Chain A
Amino acid sequence: MTPAPDAACNVALFVTCLVDLFRPSVGMAAVRLLEESGCTVHVPTAQTCCGQPAFNSGDRATARELGLQVLETFETFDHVVAPSGSCAGMLRKHLPELFEDDPALQVRARALAARCHELVSFLVDIRGIEGIDRGEENKLNLTLTYHDSCAGLREMGVKEQPRKLLLSCGADLVEMNEAETCCGFGGTFCVKYPDISLKMVDDKLRNVEATGAPLLVAGDMGCLMNMAGRLSRLGSDVEVRHVAELLAGELAEPPIGRKKG
């Protein structure tokens, strides 16, 4: 990876709840990728959640309070990067909506929102990374299929960037049918409408398994936990990983939902 020319770039990592709690290795991978791209990475400790669960549950007051917390915590950085299209989408697209009642706050929210990014698209589109080369011995000699998480795809324009970088690492990509169709996670949707959610994830996994790829990759922990959890329940051999782990070459941890050691 060749660092972009403007090396002094202060990036705050928005860890996201699910990475923080369930899969810290994704956060570590994100830090490594950002540092390799020439950024100085900060992890503000005042961060908790982007407020999306409240926002999507109709609890605007709570969403606004958490939005304000995000604003105050992250405003001073050049960029805010999240290893999730969904949380990045919340910050980029919806944060300003929370302050429609307060012009001054809205100006600040807009300014911050414009600097919030999803990790992989940030590396490619903002840092200008064309490919990742970790030497012949570290090539990803594996076949995978990639699921386009909804918010990443539709709110953040993440589509070709992860594919491009994964291919540059030596991975073989087999596209599944309907890669852009929702996996049925949808935050609280999956527990409020479990039957519909299961039908959706099963449709998704049928398309995954039809590719014959032994590895399923995506850029959002919510979707990944949903798909990995269902694969595990069905006793499938398909493994599941976050794209950041593969790009950072950090594969020491077992795949999502798999036994340790």
Chain B
Amino acid sequence: MQPSSLAFKDRARAAMADPQLQHSLDLLKHGWQAGRTRAAAALPEFEALRDEGRNIKDHVLGHLDLYLEAFEARVVEAGGHVHWARDAAEARRITLDICRDVGARSVTKSKSMIAEEIGLNEFLEVNGIDRVETDLGEYIIQLANEPPSHIIGPAIHKTIAEISELFQKNHGGERITEPAALVAEARRVMRQRYLDADVGITGANFLVAETGSIVTVTNEGNAELTHGLPRTHIAIASIEKIVPRLLDAFTLLRLLARSATGQDFSAYTTLLTGPKRPDDRDGPENFHVVLVDNGRSAMLGTALQEMLRCIRCGACMNHCPVYLATGGHAYGWVYPGPMGSVLTPGFIGIEKAHLLPNASTFCGKCEEVCPVRIPLPKLMRHWREVQFDQKLTPTTARWGLGLWAAMARRPALYRFATGTAIRLLGLWAGRRGAFARLPLAGGWTGGRDLPAPQGRTFMAQWTRRKNR
């Protein structure tokens, strides 16, 4: 996916002028956001669980090599294969090679953000592998040829009418408008694809070092059919998905669905260990795990390490007033919302993504709801510092800041200058309570009046009072 994060402002403007998108985003607020509030309130130990979740992840990040190697050993013991991919290109190549080795023509895929991150979808396509997405939302955006706009609800920006049109165009037949009928239609189309597929590709919500298992979570059961039916299963996972023990995966699972949608647990949670054994009824004959680094090990030991705790629940975007205004596509790359504003600059470069970490009021709502307590505002501020240090901050902003700082460092000068300016502004305001327009304040007065100062600064009044 070609990043277009520099177009954030234009895309945000267009998104805010799109009533259908705004309606979908409103539904998010009343659906998943409200769901998370209810779920958190209903579980007395929820806050303690968040601490535990954070601690598990912090521990893992301190011993990543150890747990990843243990995981690899368990997978191999169980008869599976582990592949290590340094970057996106390697991960794509490894996946394609496995597909080619088994002579795959058709692939089913269950939703995976890492696959989006490494650009696997287009890559398989140009290499002649026929792929179908099995998550309903992901299937819809595949038909629409669009990127996901939310990490757990990739098609939340789509209306029923748009989906109905897409289905008719791609499936033929009558126009269907009933949601239940649309789901049935998708099922019908997908069933044959499941049976035809040579390879199933999934992501993994967790990798368990203790057992060599992968854990997948869905609400549609599509991951199960994706890894269970084809002869070959490829699980692609980034390296920070590892947890030490099964118990740790369950601690994080208790946080995941509650934070994401407000469910106690997702409808389908599957633990998968190795390929099919002789007395198993089903399962893949070949089991591959592709472990992807793609910049993560470089984040270890830096200010960004905490971001690697992320369990991709989407709560930060469901609660972000900026995301809820602009939707996910405005962010211009794979990961939207606050977590995207932290991750994207690392992947595509701060010079191409600096508008994202700045697009926050630092209201702190994301950090308040993040199940693993990632200090997202602090990490966005980190990128602003990188931007400032690399002199990527716009010149006018740098000058303004510099001028203001030069004064603020000299209290007497500051007092004199602000005192004079405020008196003048007060005189100019006269009996007016606010300015509708003011030189150099266009950014403010474009949409709001500027309340006029009362007349004299507090400091001037206070000094007078003291001297009386």
Instruction: Name A residues whose Cβ lies closer than 8 Å to a Cβ of B.
Output: 15, 19-25, 27-28, 43, 45-49, 51, 53-60, 62, 65-66, 69, 150-151, 154-155, 180-182, 184-201, 203, 225-226, 228-230, 232-233, 253-254, 256-261
Question: Which residue from chain A places its CB closest to the CB of B29 in the assembled complex?
Answer: A178
A22-B361 contact in complex given A45-B411, A58-B385, A195-B12, C-beta closer than 8 Å: no
Question: Which residue from chain B places its CB closest to the CB of A27 in the assembled complex?
Answer: B458
A-B contact count (CB 8 A): 197
Of the candidates A25, A66, A225, A260, the one having the most CB atoms from chain B within 10 angstroms of its own CB is A260
Q: How far is the CA of A53 from the CA of B361 in the complex (A)?
A: 12
Q: How far is the CA of A199 from the CA of B18 in the complex (A)?
A: 13
Q: How far is the CA of A2 from the CA of B461 in the complex (A)?
A: 27
Contact in complex: A23, B454 (CB < 8 Å): yes
Question: Which residue from chain A places its CB closest to the CB of B387 in the assembled complex?
Answer: A58
Chain A residues closer than 8 Å to B367, beta-carbon distance: 154
A150-B462 contact in complex given A20-B457, A194-B446, A200-B321, C-beta closer than 8 Å: no
Contact in complex: B461, A24 (CB < 8 Å): yes
Contact in complex: A57, B454 (CB < 8 Å): no
Question: Which residue from chain A places its CB closest to the CB of B451 in the assembled complex?
Answer: A257
A-B contact pairs, 24 of them (CB 8 A): A21-B418, A22-B451, A24-B458, A28-B458, A45-B463, A48-B407, A56-B381, A58-B385, A59-B388, A59-B401, A62-B405, A69-B408, A69-B409, A151-B362, A154-B364, A186-B362, A189-B359, A193-B358, A196-B16, A196-B325, A229-B444, A233-B436, A257-B449, A259-B432
In the complex, whether B434 has a CB less than 8 A from a CB of chain A is yes
Q: How far is the CA of A150 from the CA of B383 in the complex (A)?
A: 21
The answer, among A56, A151, A201, A258, for a CB contact under 8 Å with B364, is A151
Of the candidates B385, B408, B449, the one having the most CB atoms from chain A within 10 angstroms of its own CB is B408
Question: Which residue from chain B places its CB closest to the CB of A60 in the assembled complex?
Answer: B385
Chain B residues closer than 8 Å to A22, beta-carbon distance: 422, 451-454
Chain B residues closer than 8 Å to A21, beta-carbon distance: 418, 422, 453, 457-458
The answer, among A57, A185, A193, for a CB contact under 8 Å with B9, is A193
Q: How far is the CA of A197 from the CA of B358 in the complex (A)?
A: 13
Which secondary structure dominates where chain B touches chain A?
A: helix
Contact in complex: A185, B434 (CB < 8 Å): no
The answer, among B361, B364, B388, for a CB contact under 8 Å with A184, is B361
In the complex, whether B301 has a CB less than 8 A from a CB of chain A is no
Instruction: Name B residues whose Cβ lies closer than 8 Å to a Cβ of A.
Output: 9, 12-13, 16, 321-322, 325-326, 358-365, 367-368, 381, 383-389, 393, 397, 401-402, 404-405, 407-409, 411, 414-415, 418, 422, 431-434, 436, 443-444, 446-454, 456-459, 461-463
Contact in complex: B414, A48 (CB < 8 Å): yes
Q: How far is the CA of A233 from the CA of B360 in the complex (A)?
A: 24
Of the candidates A22, A151, A198, the one having the most CB atoms from chain B within 10 angstroms of its own CB is A22
Contact in complex: A193, B359 (CB < 8 Å): yes
Query: Other than the known A57-B388, A199-B325, A232-B449, what 20 A-B pairs have Cβ atoms closer than 8 Å?
Result: A24-B461, A47-B411, A58-B387, A59-B388, A154-B368, A182-B321, A184-B361, A185-B361, A192-B358, A192-B397, A193-B9, A193-B322, A196-B322, A198-B448, A200-B361, A225-B451, A232-B434, A233-B447, A257-B433, A257-B451
Contact in complex: A66, B408 (CB < 8 Å): yes
Chain A residues closer than 8 Å to B456, beta-carbon distance: 24
Contact in complex: A226, B381 (CB < 8 Å): no
Contact in complex: A182, B411 (CB < 8 Å): no
Contact in complex: A58, B384 (CB < 8 Å): yes
The answer, among A15, A194, A200, for a CB contact under 8 Å with B458, is A15
In the complex, how many angstroms separate the beta carbon of B32 from the nearest chain A beta carbon?
Answer: 15
Contact in complex: B448, A150 (CB < 8 Å): no
| The 8 residue pairs across chains A and B that have the minimum distance between CB atoms | A186-B361, A191-B443, A58-B384, A229-B448, A58-B388, A24-B458, A182-B363, A257-B451
Contact in complex: A43, B462 (CB < 8 Å): yes
Chain B residues closer than 8 Å to A258, beta-carbon distance: 433-434
Of the candidates B367, B393, B409, the one having the most CB atoms from chain A within 10 angstroms of its own CB is B409
A232-B393 contact in complex given A25-B454, A45-B463, A196-B12, C-beta closer than 8 Å: no
